[in-house]
Amino acid sequence: MRQTTDRFLPPDRESYLASKPATGRIIVIAPTRAACETIELAVGLHLDTFLERTRGDDLRRLAASGQGFGIVAGTGTGKTLAIRPIAETILATTDLRVGVVNRKREATPETPTWNVVVVTTGIARRWFQDGDILPTDTLVVDEIHQTSAELELCLALGKRVGCRYIWLSATVDPTFYARYLDSADVLKVSAFDATKAAKVDVERKQPLAFLDDRFLQKLARSERGVAIFLPTRAGVEEAAEWVRHRFPRITAAHYHGGEPIRVIRPFLEGVVPKPFFLAMTAAGQSALNVPGLDTVIIDDTRFTNLIDRGRNVLTRVHLGANEILQMAGRVHGRVEGGRVYILSDRDIRFEALRPTEPEFQLAGDSERVALTCADLGVRADALDLPVPLDRAAYRKAVALLEARGLIENGRLTAYGRAVEKLPVERAWGELIVNGDDELLPALAVMSGVESLHRMTREGRDLEGLVVRGSDHLTAYNLYAEAFRVAGYIGDVYGLPRHLFEAERIAHWAEQRGVLVKALEDAALAMASVYRSVGMPLPQTLPIAGAAMHRRFADLLARYMPFDLVIEEETVDGHEARVSKTSVCGSWGAVAGSLRYFADRHGIPRAAIEGTQLSMDLVRQYAQRHEPELALDLERKHSPVLLRRRVTYFGFELSRDSEPLPVFPDALAAAARHLLAEAAARGELRHPGVRRNQPIVEEIREVWRRLGGITPRLGQAELTSWYAQRMGDARSWEDIRAMPLLLDRRDFLNEAQLAAARALPGAVEIRDRTVGIDYDVEELDGGRMPVARLRLPEKLARTLVPEELPVLDRALRFVVPRGQRGAVRANDLHELQDRLDLPFTDEERAAHDARGRGGAERGGRGESRGASSRGGKPGGGPRGGGRPGKGGRHPGRRRR
């Protein structure tokens, strides 16, 4: 196992803790790496901001109070610049020594000297786990409204430590944050100028239809600065190209998460003349200020992950009020003659929109919660999370991590700690820890590439670089060729990293259809991995071919840390197709990232891209289980079978069954017990079992009627009786020849039988015959006889206690509702209350089972192998529906 080091933790922890100032440190948690750089710059500036002019005294008073507080401020008010006066007040000094720790800049020996530390959410979580953030520290959370699973986990960890929180947010409803973070006050600051209110229009048009010749001509004549916010990368690129092609004199550009910020640097510096057109994704625009912007076009669409039956489903939904207000706030109330266009199929009253609470993301990251809790040695329910934890998903994640050897007895194992120290996802961490040095360059690159699809544009050119059956290695080949064409090793913040010559890489990326930002992210991840394992960066990168494919596939098949799909099915039986942009085929096994998305009808579909494995390789590392006994009760000659199974990470690859007409010595007792259990259930095809059924039912009914005073003949007791009668039989023929007849007199005498028969089977209530079912309830180790009345619903709703019959035992009540089940209660008042509810117990249980998404369904076929089918047909999992829609109420019958 490869040894790893977490380079983002202070290298000398004792020195770091010992040198903390008496006031504690200021730990600033930023949402992105770019935000870290912005905050570092802001702390070094002294600017007169709107926030400082209007609420500066209040800001310093709250900072000096020792209590937590929040700042909700619109764009352009200077809330990020307020971190400096906050830090100076709390630390009681103007000597601010600021340092940044993120994927670009690891912790250094100078880290203990910093009194202001700026970290991303993932680094903050690691510092919490290592105990480097103390109760005396103050946590300043910038852009807290940009929710993520890591951020919400950090909020809970900070509350567990007992830190003070100061949080900064754009326009949202601050009620939840103020309550959750125990804020003494919330400063609400807005630079909105009513005289500069923008004119807002809502139009039912698609983006390209809105950008027609008439609009573009008007844009060109009026020389306006326009920004359009779209939900997808492809839409952003298409809109910019559309304007650029139709009206070349309009300066058009695009920006999204796949592009480096330098592509729109002239717009941010205000040197681009009007008219200009800038297309951006909603996520890309959140922290950018574009001088000269006076027109905003908002596409009322976003894609978000919704939790559906324990799965993260990418779903297309409308924008929330917060997003619309923040996007429109770029010009609304800030610039003269501002215009806002909202493209929506809804009737939106912009003036009526109000900020709402943010949407949280933690529910979909149970594995991260499990690893963090195991590292800290705490239970998940001990954390005060901002959203309820999906306990079923959490237990499933813990079970998976325990099975993989990362967690044992609630704590990380040595293997788990080695994986957790790496700055990559858990699956790639396992491969890096277990892989050899020859594969390390490819593993390090692939761990930093989200997917081949997100690395490339739609019109990509992969000629000569495709590794058939592996999206992972194809992505690596793109990086390897980019480094060969335009790469070199340089230093960034004193750390070695692969860098690219700007002009050459831009030209190459344009030809190949590759996103430069994806290459830079992969280079950053690669440098982090190599520093963590203590090895120098490679000077050259070989192109992956058949030999590397074989080694990688072997490593992957041996450890299998990814999602796995075999024959287009997941391990729990859901259908999953290979992604359209994948270079894998649809046959055999594919290991990679399984993603769910909602189709146009809202039905969740599953798609996977990754690396294809041959079934021969899968069988090589499959688990061969010990032979086990099973029953096939339809077989006349010998229902006892010896079954041999071969499984691979939950998939049943094969199952061979051999009939056992004669039981081997080692298996004879187990075989007889299986047959006895089947006989007790009434399923064994034996003459004696069929004749015994009426006698068994009579003995059980007498037991119920007499309150359990006669010998019990439940499933366990009847199984034991049959096993005793089978004796030492060694074959099915011997057992079938036995009479196996049950004598009622062994369990009942005539007096007990007569007493049971004397009890009434029904009573008269309001001239209606009401049936009585007798039963025995187990209470505190004792038994209590009860009588259950089967009441018609109309009678049950109007019945009063005085009309109930007087019997020698407690009464219970049940109201049958046909196929919908029944309503049950222990007393009459409870029954009548429950009759007013819109659902029965059975309907509630069925609804909960549907919500669990069939996670307990198994059901595999007799064998698996390579399919002769080719291609990548579309489709997805059967059933399902849009989260929150599409299912009828559990208590309503369809008319």
Q: Three-state DSSP class for 262?
A: helix
Higher local confidence (pLDDT), 600 or 891: 600
Instruction: Please give the mean pLDDT across all residues of the chain.
Output: 88
Tens digits of residue pLDDT in 768-793: 999 999 999 988 778 999 999 999 99
Above pLDDT 70, what percent of the chain? 92
Which of 63-72, 370-379, 845-854 is predicted least confidently? 845-854
In angstroms, the first-to-last Cα distance of the chain is 63
The owner of tokens 């709390």 is 90
pLDDT band at 227, cuts 50/70/90? very high
Ramachandran assignment for 62, one of left (phi > 0), alpha (psi -120 to 50 degrees), beta (any other): alpha
Tens digits of residue pLDDT in 814-837: 999 988 889 999 999 999 999 998
Per-residue pLDDT at 893: 32
* Mean pLDDT on 523-537: 94
Query: How far from 387 is each of 362, 363, 390, 450, 851, CA to CA, in Å?
Result: 7, 7, 9, 26, 18
Tens digits of residue pLDDT in 78-134: 889 999 999 999 999 999 999 999 988 889 899 999 999 999 999 999 999 999 999
Phi/psi at 604 (nearest 5 deg)?
Answer: -65, 130
Phi/psi at 541 (nearest 5 deg)?
Answer: -125, 120
pLDDT band at 361, cuts 50/70/90? low
What is the β-pairing status of strands 589-598 and 604-613?
antiparallel
Q: Does the pLDDT value for residue 507 go beyond 90?
A: yes
Q: Does the pLDDT value for residue 758 go beyond 80?
A: yes
Amino acid at 287: A
Q: Does the pLDDT value for residue 491 go beyond 60?
A: yes
Q: What secondary structure letter does DSSP report for 336?
A: T
What DSSP assignment string belongs to 606-674?
EEEEEEEE-HHHHHHT-EEPPPEEEE-TT-SS--EEEEEEEEETTEEEEEEEEE-SB--GGGHHHHHHH
Higher local confidence (pLDDT), 242 or 843: 242
* Mean pLDDT on 854-861: 39
Structure tokens at 346: 């809804």
Tens digits of residue pLDDT in 296-323: 999 999 887 776 666 677 788 899 888 8
Per-residue pLDDT at 602: 76
Per-residue pLDDT at 233: 84
Residue 140 CB burial class (10 angstroms; 0-12, 13-18, ≥19): buried
Tens digits of residue pLDDT in 537-565: 999 999 999 999 999 999 999 999 999 99
Do 121 and 340 contact (CB within 8 A), yes or no? Answer: no
Per-residue pLDDT at 183: 94
* Mean pLDDT on 148-162: 90
Per-residue pLDDT at 831: 93
Distance of CA 882 to the CA centre of its chain: 16
From CA 497, how far away is CA 523, in angstroms rounded? 7
Tens digits of residue pLDDT in 270-303: 888 999 999 998 765 555 678 889 999 999 998 8
Per-residue pLDDT at 895: 29
Phi/psi at 482 (nearest 5 deg)?
Answer: -60, -40
Q: Does the pLDDT value for residue 796 go beyond 90?
A: yes
pLDDT band at 458, cuts 50/70/90? confident
Of residues 430, 423, 384, the one with CA closest to residue 406: 430
pLDDT band at 76, cuts 50/70/90? confident
Q: Does the global pTM surpass 0.85?
A: no
Per-residue pLDDT at 386: 87
- Number of neighbours of residue 744 by Cβ within 10 angstroms: 15
Q: Residue 474 contacts by C-beta under 8 Å, 6 or more apart in sequence?
A: 452, 462, 465, 466, 467, 583
Q: Does the pLDDT value for residue 859 go beyond 70?
A: no
Per-residue pLDDT at 362: 56
Query: How far from 325 is each of 198, 289, 350, CA to CA, in Å?
Result: 12, 15, 8
* Mean pLDDT on 692-700: 95
* Mean pLDDT on 61-89: 91
* Mean pLDDT on 188-209: 90
Query: How far from 730 is each of 658, 660, 671, 738, CA to CA, in Å?
Result: 17, 10, 9, 12
* Mean pLDDT on 188-206: 90
* Mean pLDDT on 644-668: 92
**Cis peptide preceding 388, ω within 30 of 0:** no
Per-residue pLDDT at 636: 78
Phi/psi at 218 (nearest 5 deg)?
Answer: -65, -40
Listed ranges 188-202, 346-360, 516-530, 878-892; the one with the highest mean pLDDT: 516-530
